[in-house]
Amino acid sequence: MFQLSPQGKEKVLAELKRYESRQSAVLPALYIAQAENKGYISPEVIKELSRVMELPEANINEVCTFYTMYNKEPVGSHHVQVCRTLSCMLNGAKELSEHICSQLGTHLGQKTKDGKFTVTEVECLGSCGTAPMMQIADKYYENLTHESAMNIIRSLK
């Protein structure tokens, strides 16, 4: 059973009052809940939000499945998102993500055995002038080489 922390609940209630329509609070609420549930949204999270927000589960669930930034499955404690789109591809993004996967002994979308990392490829992150690049948590890492990317990844606890 997932339950929002008292602070989390307070934040969700504040979002409900923030916009003209209560439904607008669904996107922010999913972010708040995701942060409190090890980085992903499970059916229990939807239930809890539905209860706290007094909105039908279906309204929350369909929003959750539409957007890529809500993880539907558990991810490793570090989610390494390598941009795959054209400007990055032209600068070696595909080779970079293959290198990272092989160094970590994993495949795209698969948690590493120690549960520490998940590597995925994502679409253009608006950092095309500093390609290739990746995002881990909220942070952008740009102008990567195979070495610099692995140094960054290995430095994560």
Partner 1 sequence: MSEVKYLTEFYHLPEFKGLEGYKKNGGYVQLAKALKMQPQAIIDEVKASGLRGRGGAGFPTGMKWGFLPKNDEPRYLLCNADEGEPGTFKDRMMMEKAPHQLVEGMIISAFAISCKKSYIYVRGEYDDSINALEVAIQEAYKAGLLGKNILGSGFDHDMDVYRGAGAYICGEETGMISSLEGLKGQPKLKPPFPAVQGYLKKPTIVNNVETLAAVKYILRDGAAGYRKYGTEKSAGSKLFSLSGNVAKPGNYEVPLGYPLKDMINVLGGGIKNGKKLKAVIPGGSSAPVLTAEEALKATLDYENLAAAGTMLGSGAIIVIDDSKCMVECLANLTHFYHHESCGQCTPCREGTGWADKIVHSILSGKGRLQDIELLVKVADNMKGRTICALSDAAALPIISFVTKFRDEFEYFVREGKSKVKGTAYKGHAYAATASH
* Interface residue list for partner 1 (CB under 8 A): 18-28, 30-31, 62-63, 65-70, 72, 84-87, 89-91, 94, 98, 107-110, 120-131, 135, 138-140
Q: β-strand 78-83 against 117-122: which pairing, if any?
A: parallel
109 binding partner (options partner 1, ligand FES, none; Cβ < 5 to 8 Å by kind)? partner 1
DSSP bridge pairs for 73: none
In the stretch 85-114, what mask flags binding to ligand FES with x, by CB under 6 A? xxxx--------------------------
Give the count of beta carbons closer than 10 Å to the beta carbon of residue 75.
Answer: 20
Residue 136 interacting with ligand FES (CB under 6 A) = no
Residue 81 interacting with ligand FES (CB under 6 A) = no
98 binding partner (options ligand FES, partner 1, none; Cβ < 5 to 8 Å by kind)? partner 1
Dihedral angle, C-alpha 111, 117, 123, 126, nearest 10 °: 170
113 binding partner (options ligand FES, partner 1, none; Cβ < 5 to 8 Å by kind)? none
Residue 134 interacting with ligand FES (CB under 6 A) = no
129 binding partner (options partner 1, ligand FES, none; Cβ < 5 to 8 Å by kind)? partner 1
Q: Which amino acid is at 89?
A: M
Dihedral angle, C-alpha 10, 14, 17, 21, nearest 10 °: -90
CA nearest 92: which of 142, 145, 153? 145
CA nearest 88: which of 142, 128, 30? 128
Give the whole-angstrom CA distance, residue 146 versus residue 62: 38
Residues that bind ligand FES (CB under 6 A): 83, 85-88, 124-128, 131, 133
